[in-house]
């Protein structure tokens, strides 16, 4: 038995050494080809070019291997080949993409992370030899991946629940977080399955509010000082409207407290379900977390923002008398009564309000109403279909 274990260890070490040597040879060949191009020699180089199709076929097959180390090594090979031979590897992307997308469901974080490194490189790098403008083609692969990722989440709820957060957070590190969120939001707007859109927005919103990878994006949304940040807010808002509590949390994050009050007024016309109340419960927990520390400190301003207080009391009135209700009630009781009775002045909040003057909140509110009406009709159609199928 001991001899067998030693043999297995030796095989692994040998395989690792061979893999490393082959990668070095690939790098050396690329250096020789680059040197030949620089010299522009009329003599054909003696080195034979790497025959990529059979290599890609083998790599694609081994992505299904049971060994974590094997799959990671294969993904590193694909990444290295794409980095060194982009103009040749582009012809194999259509073959590789489905295999890479399936790999995202792997149980090992290391495999999924390396797979995302490959995907990020493919969808973000210029395609071709650099002699032509390939922005459109790159964008096509970018959108194709985002669409297929959402389709995977739609078809496999377990993948969304168990891997969704990890995949999206890693993508936000490897690529531009704002572009990832804007792409997801734009594509979700066209999704006919409204139940999935609502669920996906809930996940995206929780990642936005809690992950360290999106700290800079949260800060940008919190201030809304630039046209870029306002554009980001409006883009997210349009899709976030599919989930009322996510919409409220986005507006709390961006300090649009008056608009939060307007939204909460509309909640009386919505169907209050257990899931809806659970989402409010989660929002209360977030309000008590470090993410919303600035919001809690605003309650100490003199005079305090009356819209913020009204918004929090609005959430309180929606909750049944649960632990979340008591938590929020205790928080609101900490507001000094003097602050609530002080005559309101526009000075403390005038600057904050002026930063948002260019956002048409009336139009946004109408959009929210339209989206919620679509959900109402969608639910009625689903229930009618279920009755007919009995």
List the Cα angle 140/144/148 in 5-degree steps. Answer: 175
Q: From 259, 263, 246, select the one nearest 208 (Cα to Cα).
A: 246
Domain coverage including residue 362: 238-390
- Flag whether 137 is in a domain: no
CA dist., res. 24 & res. 21, Å (int): 5
Residue 249 falls inside a structural domain: yes
Which pTM value belongs to this model?
0.85
pLDDT value, residue 353? 56
pLDDT recorded at residue 346: 47
Tokens read off for 35: 């040197």
Task: Identify whether the C-beta of residue 215 lies closer than 8 Å to the C-beta of residue 344.
Answer: no
User: What pLDDT does 356 receive?
Assistant: 66
- Number of domains comprising the chain: 2
Examine residue 29 and state whether it is found in any structural domain, yes or no.
Answer: yes
Length of the chain: 390
Q: What is the pLDDT of residue 28?
A: 47
Query: Is 156 a member of any domain?
Result: no
CA nearest to 97, candidates 126, 123, 124, 127: 123
Among candidate residues 40, 56, 42, the one with its CA nearest the CA of residue 90: 56
Half-sphere exposure of 232 (CA within 13 A, CB side): 23
| CB 238 within 8 Å of CB 229 | no
pLDDT reported for residue 95: 86
> Mean pLDDT of residues grouped by 10 in the chain (390 residues)?
51 54 52 50 51 85 89 92 85 88 93 96 68 49 93 95 96 96 97 97 98 95 92 97 98 97 95 95 96 93 88 96 95 76 50 66 97 96 86
* DSSP track, 103-118: HTT-S-HHHHHHHHHH
The token pair at 257 is 């407290």
Contact (Cβ atoms closer than 8 angstroms) between residue 264 and residue 318: yes
Residue 348 within any structural domain of the chain:
yes
Position 354 in a domain: yes
**pLDDT score recorded for residue 316:** 96
- What integer pLDDT is reported at residue 162 of this predicted model? 93
Q: Helix, strand, or coil here: 299?
A: coil
Is residue 18 a part of any domain in this protein? yes
Residue 89 resides in a domain: no
Question: For position 134, what pLDDT does the model report?
Answer: 43
């Amino acid at each position: 038995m001991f001899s067998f274990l030693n043999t297995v260890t030796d095989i692994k070490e040998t395989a690792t050494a061979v893999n490393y040597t082959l990668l070095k040879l690939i790098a050396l060949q690329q250096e020789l080809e680059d040197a030949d191009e620089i010299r522009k020699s009329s003599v054909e180089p003696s080195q034979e070019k790497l025959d990529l199709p059979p290599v890609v076929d083998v790599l694609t097959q081994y992505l299904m291997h049971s060994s974590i180390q094997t799959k990671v090594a294969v993904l590193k090979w694909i990444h290295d080949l794409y980095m060194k031979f982009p103009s040749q590897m582009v012809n194999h992307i259509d073959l590789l993409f489905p295999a890479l997308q399936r790999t995202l469901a792997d149980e090992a974080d290391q495999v999924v992370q390396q797979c995302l490194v490959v995907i990020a490189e493919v969808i973000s790098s210029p395609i071709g030899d650099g002699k032509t403008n390939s922005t459109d083609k790159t964008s096509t692969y970018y959108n194709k991946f985002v669409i297929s990722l959402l389709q995977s989440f739609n078809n496999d709820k377990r993948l969304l629940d168990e891997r969704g957060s990890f995949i999206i957070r890693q993508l936000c590190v490897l690529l531009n977080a704002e572009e990832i969120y804007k792409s997801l939001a734009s594509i979700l707007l066209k999704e006919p399955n409204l139940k999935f859109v609502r669920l996906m927005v809930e996940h995206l919103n929780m990642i936005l509010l809690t992950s360290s990878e999106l700290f800079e994006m949260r800060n940008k949304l919190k201030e809304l000082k630039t046209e870029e940040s306002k554009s980001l807010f409006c883009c997210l808002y349009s899709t976030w409207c599919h989930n009322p509590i996510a919409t409220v949390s986005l507006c709390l994050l961006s300090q649009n407290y008056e608009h939060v009050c307007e939204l909460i007024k509309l909640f009386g016309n919505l169907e209050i379900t257990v899931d809806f109340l659970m989402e409010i419960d989660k929002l209360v927990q977030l309000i008590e977390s470090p993410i919303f520390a600035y919001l809690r400190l605003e309650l100490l301003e003199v005079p305090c923002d009356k819209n913020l207080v009204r918004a929090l009391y609005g959430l309180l009135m929606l909750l049944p008398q649960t632990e979340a209700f008591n938590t929020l009630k205790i928080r609101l009781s900490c507001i000094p009564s003097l602050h609530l009775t002080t005559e309101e002045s526009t000075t403390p909040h005038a600057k904050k309000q002026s930063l948002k003057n260019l956002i048409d909140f009336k139009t946004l509110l109408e959009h929210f109403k339209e989206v919620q009406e679509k959900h109402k009709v969608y639910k009625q159609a689903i229930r009618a279909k279920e009755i007919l199928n009995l």
